[in-house]
């Protein structure tokens, strides 16, 4: 089962259904739409759609909202009218829709009253001969009473789609295009914590996945301890270099390359001419001063030092100061920290690091640092998908 989370909306509220737990957290949900979905109206939401490519769409009456998954907010310039933007003009769907779902095979479906439209995902165009009648095309929906006024459809990525209408739902087999036996059933029976009286919209949330075929190559091409000119007048550099490569894929819906990110964390110490030297890391608190890297061993407790996120302090902030964050430097990619040719949408992360100090020739130095590289799912709370830990130890005379 691929989908991790489904968001379900009803009136002015929503809940998050976690597939692995088969429940919505009753302590957090239901919650208010207007409070947690920045830029969306208070509700109700008519339909929601995971389009992929870092975009989610919400439909409210004759308008739609484009949600940026990475920025976690509505994109500027929205809402926009459905008319003139979706190719629905003249079908009646431009005035509003009841439900929408990404089938995960290059087809996207929109439902309204007793009709539906199929859109080609690659071209975003309505396919010929649509709209069509729901009951004539979807086997078993008429007998189940689901041939009109569908409230929501969910595609969990496991070969099944779930249709919701009123206080009931049914399970639909994508391959055979048939309703599973035993349905319709009450929503409250198998969707714990979800609105039992009915939902108005449902949304499969994007997930990140690392390519199973060697998609995490961290660290890569690590060099031996060395010294070299730093490229800055009068300064030499000493340390080791390595690369980081991660390949994210979107081979199955709702996998999305754009929500996969790389993180690098570090701990350790520098010694310059026999004296410890603090190493500043950027703070995530806006306007706050940098924070110092923790040592490998906490000098007070003797416990292993806490890893902190690695990065560069570049005031004023003009580029990405942490590894792997996509939106921080959109349009201003650092060649040592990039995602292929398109930082927002590309699935391949390429990084380079050269930990070590730069000082005048003749300076004695020591670097003793531990690194933690992670591939994370930024759309699902920064879940760590895979990781690697390694050390960089180096000493010499610059």
Using CA atoms, how far apart are residues 47 and 61, in angstroms rounded to an integer? Answer: 9
pLDDT for the residue 329? 52
pLDDT for the residue 328? 65
Total-model pTM:
0.91
CATH topology of domain 5-204: Hemopexin (2.110.10)
Where do the domains of the chain lie? 5-204, 216-397
Using CA atoms, how far apart are residues 109 and 198, in angstroms rounded to an integer? Answer: 21
Which tokens is 91 given? 């079908």
Residues sharing a CB contact under 8 Å with residue 359, sequence separation 6 or more, in sequence order: 235, 236, 272, 365, 398
In Å, how far are 293, 299, 315 from 394, measured between CA atoms? 17, 21, 28
pLDDT higher than 90, residue 11: yes
Using CA atoms, how far apart are residues 302 and 322, in angstroms rounded to an integer? Answer: 28
Using CA atoms, how far apart are residues 374 and 385, in angstroms rounded to an integer? Answer: 7
Which tokens is 125 given? 């165009």
262-314 pLDDT, tens digit per residue, is 999 999 999 999 999 989 898 878 777 889 999 999 888 889 999 999 988 77
116-167 pLDDT, tens digit per residue, is 999 998 888 999 999 999 998 898 999 999 999 999 999 988 889 999 999 9
């Amino acid at each position: 089962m691929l989908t991790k989370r489904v968001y379900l909306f009803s009136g002015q509220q929503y809940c998050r259904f976690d597939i692995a737990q088969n429940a919505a957290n009753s302590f957090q949900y239901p919650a208010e739409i207007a409070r947690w979905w920045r830029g969306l109206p208070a509700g109700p939401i008519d339909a929601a759609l995971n389009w992929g490519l870092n975009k989610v769409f919400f439909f409210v009456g004759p308008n739609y909202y484009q949600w940026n998954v990475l920025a976690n907010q509505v994109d500027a310039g929205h809402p926009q009218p459905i008319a003139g933007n979706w190719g629905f003009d003249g079908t009646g769907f431009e005035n509003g829709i009841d439900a929408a779902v990404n089938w995960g095979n290059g087809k996207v479906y929109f439902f309204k009253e007793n009709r539906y439209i199929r859109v080609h995902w690659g071209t975003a165009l309505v396919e010929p001969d649509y709209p069509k009648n729901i009951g004539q095309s979807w086997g078993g929906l008429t007998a189940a009473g689901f041939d009109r006024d569908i409230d929501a459809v969910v595609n969990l990525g496991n070969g099944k789609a779930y249709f919701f209408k009123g206080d009931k739902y049914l399970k639909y087999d994508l391959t055979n295009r048939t309703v599973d036996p035993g349905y319709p059933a009450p929503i409250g029976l198998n969707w714990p914590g979800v609105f039992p009286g009915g939902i108005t919209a449902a949304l499969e949330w994007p997930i990140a996945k690392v390519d199973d075929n060697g998609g995490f190559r961290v660290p890569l091409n690590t060099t031996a301890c060395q010294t070299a000119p730093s490229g800055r007048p009068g300064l030499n550099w000493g340390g080791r270099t390595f690369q980081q490569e991660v390949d994210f894929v979107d081979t199955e819906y709702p996998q999305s390359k754009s929500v996969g990110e790389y993180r690098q964390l570090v701990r350790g110490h520098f010694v310059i001419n026999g004296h410890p030297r603090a190493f500043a890391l950027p703070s995530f608190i806006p306007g706050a001063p940098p924070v110092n890297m923790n040592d490998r061993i906490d000098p007070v407790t003797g416990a292993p030092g806490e890893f902190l996120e690695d990065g560069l302090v570049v005031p004023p902030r003009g580029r990405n100061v942490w590894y792997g964050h996509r939106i921080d430097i959109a349009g201003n990619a650092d060649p040592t920290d990039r995602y292929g040719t398109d930082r927002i949408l590309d699935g391949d992360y390429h990084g380079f690091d050269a930990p070590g100090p730069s000082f005048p020739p003749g300076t004695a130095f020591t670097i003793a640092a531990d690194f933690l590289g992670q591939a994370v799912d930024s759309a699902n709370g920064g879940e760590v998908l895979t990781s690697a830990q390694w050390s960089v130890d180096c000493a010499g005379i610059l």
